[in-house]
Amino acid sequence: MKAAGEGKPRTRLAGLAQDMAAARGWRRRAIAFAAGAVSTLAFAPFFAWPVMFVTFPVLVWMLDGAVNEQRPLRAAFGAAWWFGFGYFFAGLFWVGEAFLVEAEIFAWLIPFAVTALPAGLALFWGLAGAASERACTRLGLRKPGIPPHTAALARVLMLAVVLTAAEWLRGHALTGFPWDPPGVALTYPLALMQAVSVFGIYGLTLWAVVIFASPLVVMAVAEPGEQAGAVRLAAISSALPLALAFIAGSWHLSAPASPPLPGVKLRVVQPSIAQREKWMAEKQAGIFQTHLDLSRRNGDGVEDGLDGITHVVWPEAAMPFGPLDHPEALGAIGALLGNGRYLLAGGLRAESDVTAPWGRRAYNSLMVFGAGGTLVTLYDKVHLVPFGEYLPFQAALEAIGLQSLTRQRGGFAAGKTPKQLLNVPGLPPVSPLICYEAIFPGEVAPGGERPGAILIITNDGWFGNTSGPQQHFHQARLRAVEQGVSLVRAANNGVSAVVDPEGRTISSVLLLNQRGTIDSALPAPRKQTLYALLGETIFLFNALIYLAIVAFMKRPRRNVQPAQVTMGTPG
């Protein structure tokens, strides 16, 4: 990364930038992969997001270095793909744990699962890298006439726009998988989390790229006499928005907490059933009884006959059988509830359908039971997990012996869309989410109808003692803050909690491998958030502002020496 007319880097930072830009072959790939992998320390349970101040500049420098390659678009794609591959490989390694639940059947698939998924997701980053390089070249953001630090910030802004657009596509294309976009790094501590109620997670991703990449990238190219200006520009683009977000979030948290809804007292049950036992037919009666027994005990483990409790919440697939087809199970539920109480529980159900491959359709459902074990309402999961709850080309793959992880013949069927809010007696309108539906911001308020609370039932027992369950819980909290409503989360194993509209956990929290119950009030929703009102329009508006700033920055300035940085030579 030598400046025109200079044989040596001006500073150590400039030298580092030169080395990153000049890297070729396997050295470039290894550096990019390592930088992407280290970036995942920004997420739960570590929240070491300052690492991104180092790793994201590496990505920008490598994209800048691609301009001197014989095939710059290919080089930019490769650098960004390897960064993304490291990012997703380290961030999603825990997926392999699911294949160890029945290792004798599925363990052979682990190498494919832990590499193919990250490799596929990294394609979105590769495309973003190529698009960013192309846009920067077409706009002349590396030509003489623009102050180097100004041009550097413009390139960061362009990368922010195209990478966030790619992240949006990752969250929607081919059923979508928006796990931990970079904006999640800006949601810890709690004061910073409040920004998601304004910008949403994709709007925060725009900010995250600029905040983390701009300081080192801008200062690395500052010309002699321009260092002060470069520092000011880096501070305005990085330190200032970060400080403002923290101050605004702290001010918001200083307000009185949301009051509890009158007449509502929840009991959340976490049974911590071993995942291997979950689907064994001989274990199902015992699993059901465990849920019944825990439901009668308070958070201290004392049996209290559900005194004062209005709603009991069980996790996903709490009943790993069809309770609607078992009158004895419905009778037991009725005996548990008595009069005036309700059970919200995960269970399986099936409907006859002669058009289905196996003559019926199975659903992963959230069911609401009332007095006598009568079914009040239900929700069938809409966003199913590929290879977990169904197989693409299900019939063909089953014919050659492949199975989904749940081993449900024919796979699960998706529920009806558009999804409706659940009307549960005694509760405000509830947005039901089952398992990984919680990582999709658009799943919370179907059709624009704002819920009064979010209910998530899940089972993170698939993923063992890894970072996966903690990341899953943290992303669930973001849905509450985005909408400004409370969250009730019941996990078979993982993290069970009640969260207020600001993302604070109230009462106790049940962590991974803990068995017990939580008794809690339900905080009332707060005033509708800007994100709840406008949704991803905010992201689009911010992206347009970024592009307008880039257009302004690319105009040549008078009396600027042509000392533009070039990124090495093809190797």
- Segments of the chain assigned to CATH 3.60.110.10: 266-525
Look at residue 459 in the predicted model and tell me its pLDDT. 94
Determine the Cα–Cα distance for residues 494 and 268; give it in Å rounded to an integer: 13
pLDDT of residue 557: 60
d(CA 467, CA 207): 25
Assigned CATH for 266-525: 3.60.110.10
List, for residues 468-517, the tens digit of each pLDDT value. 999 999 999 999 999 999 999 999 999 999 999 999 999 889 999 999 99
Average pLDDT, the chain: 91
398 is catalytic: no
pLDDT of res. 556: 66
Answer for the pair 128, 165: CB distance below 8 angstroms, yes or no.
yes
Of 265, 381, 419, 554, the catalytic one is 381
DSSP assignment of 349-362: EEEE-TTSTTSEEE
The mean per-residue pLDDT over the stretch 375-401 comes to 78
435 is catalytic: yes
Q: Span 436-441, mean pLDDT?
A: 96
Percent of the chain with pLDDT over 70: 92
**Is 402 strand, coil or helix?**
coil
∠ CA 177-421-266, rounded to 5°: 95
pLDDT at 365: 97
Give the pLDDT confidence score for residue 554 in this predicted structure: 79
- pLDDT tens, residue by residue, 275-329: 889 888 899 999 999 999 999 999 999 999 999 999 999 999 999 999 999 999 9
What is the predicted pLDDT for the residue at 401? 61
Residue 4 pLDDT > 80: no
Name the pLDDT band for 388 (thresholds 50, 70, 90). Answer: confident
Split at pLDDT 50, 70, 90, the class of 447 is confident
Quick one: pLDDT band at residue 404, thresholds 50, 70, 90?
low
Alpha helices in 271-415 (DSSP H): 275-278, 284-295, 327-337, 394-399
Q: Which amino acid belongs to residue 135?
A: A
- Which pLDDT does position 139 carry in this prediction? 92
pLDDT, residue 570, reads 37
pLDDT, tens only, 165-218:
999 999 999 889 999 999 999 999 999 999 999 999 999 999 999 999 999 999
Check: CB of residue 455 under 8 Å from CB of residue 443: no
Q: What is the reported pLDDT for 410?
A: 63
DSSP 423: -
Residue-level pLDDT at 569: 38
pLDDT level of residue 10 (50, 70, 90 thresholds): low
Decide if 86 contacts 34 (C-beta within 8 A). yes
Residue (of 369, 364, 374) closest to 433 by Cα position: 364
Note if 381 is an active site residue.
yes
Band (397; pLDDT cuts 50, 70, 90): low
At 400 the pLDDT is 59
Tokens at residue 533, please?
A: 């009102």
Catalytic residue among 69, 223, 435, 437: 435
Handedness of CA 393, 399, 402, 408 (dihedral sign): positive
Is residue 103 pLDDT above 90, yes or no?
Answer: no
The span from the CA of 39 to the CA of 84, in Å, is 10
Residue 568 pLDDT more than 50? no
* Catalytic-role residue among 167, 223, 226, 316: 316
What is d(CA 218, CA 222) in angstroms, rounded to the nearest whole number?
7
